[in-house]
Structure 1
Amino acid sequence: MRMQTRPSALGLNLIWIIFALGIAFYAFMAMEAGKHTLPSSYDESYVAIYDSVEAKGNAGVPYADVAEETQQAYPYWNNFMAGITGTYFGFGSNGTTDPTRYYASMTDPQKSVLSLHMFLGGACIILGIFQFWPGFRKSYRKAHRAIGGTYILAAYTMIFASIYHLLHTGVADTFQGFTFYIQLWFLVISTLVTQTLAIYFIKKRNFALHFGFQLYTFVAFINAPIQRLDWIIFGSIYPHLTHGEVNNLVNILTFWQSLLVGYLIFAWNRAASPVRSKPIAIIPPSRPLSVAVTVLTAMGVISAVAQYMIFPGLGSWSVASSIVPASTLAADLALFDGKTLQNIIFTAAICTAMVSGVWLMIRDEKSTHARNAFYSSSLLAGVFQIYWGLQLGEPSMAVTSGGGFYLVSGISMIAFPSIALLFQYLGREHLWHEVMVFASNFAFAPVILLWMHALWYALDVIPPQYLDVGHGYILAAGGAILGPTFTGFFLLFNSRETRSRQIS
C-alpha cells in the first residue's frame, strides 16, 4: 500500500524528513557512544589521554592537533562537537571530559547498563520517526502497531537502565552536578508515568490521549539531540566560555524547545485526522477551578507588584538571596535599580496580562476589550523581558544562565499572543483558545520565577557547593519556563481543537 500525500502536505513531509535525518544522525552517534562505553572497549591508556587532551583543550590547541588522540579515546560525538566549537569548549575543564573520565572508571556492570541505555535511546528515536509520521502511521497500521510494541519495550528497558545508572552515579559524578541530576530524574520519572498512561489510554480506546502521552516519551528522547544542538550553537557563539557555562543556559532552553517541537508534531498528526460531523460541546470551567485560578491570579498580581515595583530585584527576597550567588543578584539588581518608571510600566503590563488572560480563559473569551488588553500588555511585557535578557548577556558563571530566562519568557509572551491573534483573524476559535492557554500561562512566568525560588528554598535540598555556582537560580528559572509550557502541552491532548477531530 502506497502512502497518499496531498500536494499541500509535501512541504511538511519534507520538513519531517530533514528533521528525521538530523535526529537519526544523533541516534547513531548515541549508539556509537554506547559501543565506546562497553567494558570491552576500555583501554587503561585512555586515562592519560583524557588528562592530556583536557590540558590541551584549556590551552585552546586546534582540534587537528589532538584529533589522533581524541578519536581513539573519546566517542564520535565528543569529536564532532569539538571539531565545530573548538577544543576549549569540547574538551576543556568544566566540560565533557569529566563525564567521559567518570564513565571509564565505572564498574563493568555500570558500563554495560549505560551502554544499553545509549543503544536503546538511539533506537527509540529512530522508531519514533516512523511512529509519529502521520503518513506512515495512517497508511501502515500493522507496521505502526508492531513498531509501537518494540518502542514501548525499548522505552521501559531504557528507563530502568537510566534509574540504575542514576542510583549508582549520584550527584557528584553527574555532569554539571545537582541541576542536571534533578533534570535527569525528572525526565526518567515523567517518561515512566506518561509511557504507562499511553498504554492505559490505548486500552481505553482514547486515541488522542494515547497519542499525546506516547508523544511525550518521544519528546523526552529528542531532548538529547536538541540539547546537543544547543551546545554546538552556543558553543560556537561563545567559544571563550566553558561547556558548563553554556549548559547553564541550555538547561533552561532545551525542554521548552522539545515540548514546542512536540506540540507541532501533535498538531500535524491531528490536522491529518478528519473533522467530526457534529460540533463539540464547549464546557465552561467548573466553579472550583474558576475559584482556584482566580486566587492564583490574585497571588500573581500581588507578587508582581511586590517583586517588580515595591521591592525590585531578587536580592530583596530572602528566599532568593539565600540560594542565589551574590554576582547573580548584582546582575539582576542592575535591571531594576533606580528605574522606577520602567518598573511601574512593566508591573502594570504583566498584571494586565495576567488578569485579562484569566478573564478570557474562565469568564468571557469573546470579550474584545479583554482580548485587546491581553495582546497589548503581553507584547509590552515581552519587549521589556527581551531587553533585560540582552542586558544580562552571555551565560557566564557570574550570571549563571545570563539572560536565558527573560529571553525565553519574553519571546513566549510575544509569540503565543501573536499566534492567537492570527487564529482570531482567521476565525479559528478552537485553535485560538488552545494557543491562548500557552499565552495566558506565560503571563505568570515572571512571578513564577520568584515562586520557584521560594520552592527550592523551602525544599532545602541543593548542596551548598552547587548554590555557590547558581544551581538554585537555574532550577528556579527552568521551573518558571517549564510550568507554563507543560500546562499548555498536556491540556493540548483534550483541547477543543483535539476533540473536534476524529483521531485514530
Structure 2
Amino acid sequence: MSVQTFNVIQKISPVAKFTFLLILFVITCIAGIISLLEAIHFFQFLLSDDAPQVVSQAIQQLRANPTLENTKILGAELWGLSSLSNVSHYVDSRLLEQGLYYASMPKTNQALLFVHVVLGGFCMLLGALQFWPSFRKRYMTIHRKIGTVYIATAPFSVVMAMIYLVKTAPHHLYDHLIAWIALWIFGAFALLSIFMAIRAIRNKKIYEHQAWMALSFSSLLVAPLLRWDWALLVSLFPHIDQETLNLVTMGMMLPQTLLIGYILVVINRQFNRPMSQRKPESFALRISNIFLVLSPLWYAVAIGSTVIVGLYFSIGGLSGLKFAHTLIPHELIIREEQVISDLGFRKWLLVLTNGAALILGIYTLQALLKATAKTLSKPVHLFGKTAAIFALIAGGLAISVGSQIGLQPDRVLLAGGTMYIINGAFLVLFSMIFLVAQYRQQFAIMKESMVFLICMLPYLSSYVLTLWVLQFIHLPTDYVIAGQGFAVPIGFSTGLLFVAFLYVVYGQATREHN
C-alpha cells in the first residue's frame, strides 16, 4: 500500500469518525425517544383493565385496513417501523401478537418492562454523547454529570429486564430463545462492564474506564439495533418476510454490537495523546502468561477445530449430521449440501486456509506477546502476514458460500447464509487491519487484530459443537419451528468476540493512548 494511499486515508479518517459518531448519536436518540413513547404505552396498560380487548380490536382494525394511521394505537415502535417501509410488512408478522401479549401479561411484568424501557430510553438519549471526544474535552463537567446519571440508571434498567426474563418463558419473547439467551449474556456484560468502569475511574485508569463504558453501552444497544436492523433489511430485501429478517438480525446482533463498541474505543483511543510503550497492566501480564503456558492446548484446539470443519465439509455439511435433522429445516440442509457440492476444490481451500490461519495466528500472537516492537523477528512478521492473508482468503470464501445459500423470501431456509457472511466479513475486516498495522509498524494493533482473528476463525466448529449440544437439550417442537435450532448456534459461533473485547480493554493499544 502506497504512502499516497495512507495520506488519503488519514484525510478521510476524521470525517469518517465524525460521521460514525453523528449517525450513532442520531439513531440512539431516536431509539430513546421511541422508548419513552413506548413507556407511555405500557403505562396505559398498567392503568387499564381492558387493554387486551382494546389491543385486540386495534389489531383486527389494522389488518382489515393496514394504514399508517391505524398503527399508532399499537405503539410508536410499530408506527416508526411502518413509516420507514410499509405497513403490510409488519401487519403480516407476529409483532402484532407480541403487542397483544404485552397488553395481557401480568401487571408485575408490565411494571418491570415499563421501568426498564423508561430508564433504557434515558440511557439511549444520553449515552452516545459520552463517547464524543470533543464534547467530553470541552464540557467535562457535563460529561461527568451525564455519566453519573447513566451509572445510576443503566444497571437498574438491566436488573429490571433480568427480573422480567426470570418471569417470562423464552417463547413469549418475539425473538424467542436466542433473544432470551442473548439478553441474559448482554445484561451480565453490561452490569460487569459498568462495575469495572467505576473501579477503573476510581483508580484513575481512564483508558480502561473508556473501554469498559464502550462495552456497557454497546451491550445496551441490542434491542434498539434490532429494530434499526429490521428497518434496514426490509429496505434491502422488501420481498423477505419479517420473521426471516428477524432471524437474520439475530445472527448479526452480537458481532454488530461489539463492533460498535470497538469502534468507540478506537475513536476515543486515537483522540487521546499517544504514549510510548508502557508497562502492561498486571492483570494483562497474568493472562498473557497463562496463554503462553497453555500453548499446547491452543494448538490442540486449533487442530481439532480444523478437523471438525474438514469433516463437516466432507460429509456434505448439515446433511451428514443426524442430530441436525431434528433442529434444522430439511430445505436448508438440502440447500447447504448442494452449495458445498458445487464448491468443489474451494471447500478444501476454505478448510486449509481457515485452519492454517488459526494455527499460524496462535504462533504469531505468542511471539508478539513475548517480543517488543524492536525485537520482533522477520520470520514472525512473515508468519503473521501469512496468517492474515489466509484468514482473508477464508473470509472471502465464507462470504461466497453464504451468498450462494442466500436469503430467501420465506422461512424455508431461515436465511441460511447469515453465519457465513457475517463471520466471513469480520475475517476480511480484521485481516486488513492486521496487514495495515504491520505495514505501518503498529505493534499493539497487530496484537489486537490477531486476537480478533483467532477468536473469529473457529466460528464453524463453534456452530457445529453448539448444534451437537442442542440435541441433548431437546428443544420443544415450536422452538424448532421458530428457527431456534438454527439461530442459537449462529449466535454462539461469534461468542469468542467477548474474549477479544476483553483484550481490547487491557491490551497495549488501549493502554498506550492515555
TM-score by length of 2: 0.87
Alignment of 1:96-135 (within 5 A): 96-135=95-134
8 Å CA contact 1:195, 1:213 repeated in 2: yes
Given candidates 13, 24, 28, the residue that maps to 1:23 is 28
Q: By how many angstroms is 1:154 displaced?
A: 0.6
8 Å CA contact 2:399, 2:425 repeated in 1: yes
8 Å CA contact 1:388, 1:406 repeated in 2: yes
Q: Secondary structure at the match of 1:241?
A: coil
Given candidates 338, 341, 346, the residue that maps to 2:345 is 341
8 Å CA contact 2:218, 2:258 repeated in 1: yes
8 Å CA contact 1:313, 1:336 repeated in 2: yes
1:384 aligns with 2:397: yes
Distance 1:27 1:10, change over 3 A: same
Match of 1:375 in 2: 388
**1:262-285 per-position Cα deviation (integer Å, ceiling 9, x unaligned):** 111111111222233554469664
Tell me how far apart the structure 2 counterparts of residues 181 and 443 of structure 1 sit (CA, whole Å): 26
Q: By how many angstroms is 1:324 displaced?
A: 2.1
Match of 1:267 in 2: 266
Tell me how far apart the structure 2 counterparts of residues 116 and 359 of structure 1 sit (CA, whole Å): 49
1:171 aligns with 2:157: no
Given candidates 407, 429, 433, the residue that maps to 1:394 is 407
Deviates more, 1:106-115 or 1:349-358: 106-115
Match of 1:35 in 2: 40
8 Å CA contact 1:328, 1:399 repeated in 2: yes
Q: By how many angstroms is 1:142 displaced?
A: 3.1
**1:6-62 per-position Cα deviation (integer Å, ceiling 9, x unaligned):** 998576345423431221012101110111111247754332111332x34xxxx6x
1:45 aligns with 2:57: no
Give 2:498's aligned amino acid: F
Distance 1:285 1:306, change over 3 A: farther
8 Å CA contact 2:68, 2:82 repeated in 1: no
Q: By how many angstroms is 1:354 displaced?
A: 1.4
Match of 1:455 in 2: 469
Tell me how far apart the structure 2 counterparts of residues 318 and 219 of structure 1 sit (CA, whole Å): 37
Q: Secondary structure at the match of 1:77?
A: helix
Match of 1:430 in 2: 444
Given candidates 316, 319, 329, the residue that maps to 1:315 is 319
Distance 1:148 1:279, change over 3 A: closer
**1:66-122 per-position Cα deviation (integer Å, ceiling 9, x unaligned):** 233222x2112211211232223222233x112111111123343232122111111
Distance 1:10 1:315, change over 3 A: closer
Structure 1 unpaired stretches of 5+ = 1-5
Distance 1:201 1:353, change over 3 A: same
Tell me how far apart the structure 2 counterparts of residues 117 and 127 of structure 1 sit (CA, whole Å): 16
Tell me how far apart the structure 2 counterparts of residues 261 and 194 of structure 1 sit (CA, whole Å): 15
Count of matched residue pairs: 484
1:499 aligns with 2:508: no
Q: By how many angstroms is 1:246 displaced?
A: 0.7
Distance 1:9 1:179, change over 3 A: closer
8 Å CA contact 1:88, 1:239 repeated in 2: no
8 Å CA contact 1:350, 1:443 repeated in 2: yes
Give 2:414's aligned amino acid: T
Give 1:448's aligned amino acid: S
Give 2:330's aligned amino acid: A
8 Å CA contact 2:327, 2:480 repeated in 1: yes
Tell me how far apart the structure 1 counterparts of residues 475 and 185 of structure 2 sit (CA, whole Å): 15
Alignment of 1:141-180 (within 5 A): 141-180=140-179
1:181 aligns with 2:180: yes
8 Å CA contact 2:278, 2:511 repeated in 1: no
Match of 1:3 in 2: none
- Could you tell me the percent identity over the aligned residues? 21
Tell me how far apart the structure 2 counterparts of residues 419 and 164 of structure 1 sit (CA, whole Å): 40
Deviates more, 1:400-409 or 1:169-178: 169-178
Match of 1:488 in 2: 500
Alignment of 1:218-367 (within 5 A): 218-277=217-276, 279-280=278-279, 285-286=289-290, 287-309=292-314, 311-337=315-341, 339-363=343-367, 366=377, 367=380
8 Å CA contact 2:391, 2:431 repeated in 1: yes
Give 1:425's aligned amino acid: Y
Match of 2:492 in 1: 479
Distance 1:234 1:339, change over 3 A: closer
Tell me how far apart the structure 2 counterparts of residues 222 and 377 of structure 1 sit (CA, whole Å): 33
Q: By how many angstroms is 1:313 displaced?
A: 0.8
Structure 2 unpaired stretches of 5+ = 1-10, 369-375
Give 1:355's aligned amino acid: I
TM-score by length of 1: 0.88
8 Å CA contact 1:300, 1:354 repeated in 2: no
Tell me how far apart the structure 1 counterparts of residues 363 and 382 of structure 2 sit (CA, whole Å): 11
Tell me how far apart the structure 2 counterparts of residues 232 and 338 of structure 1 sit (CA, whole Å): 34
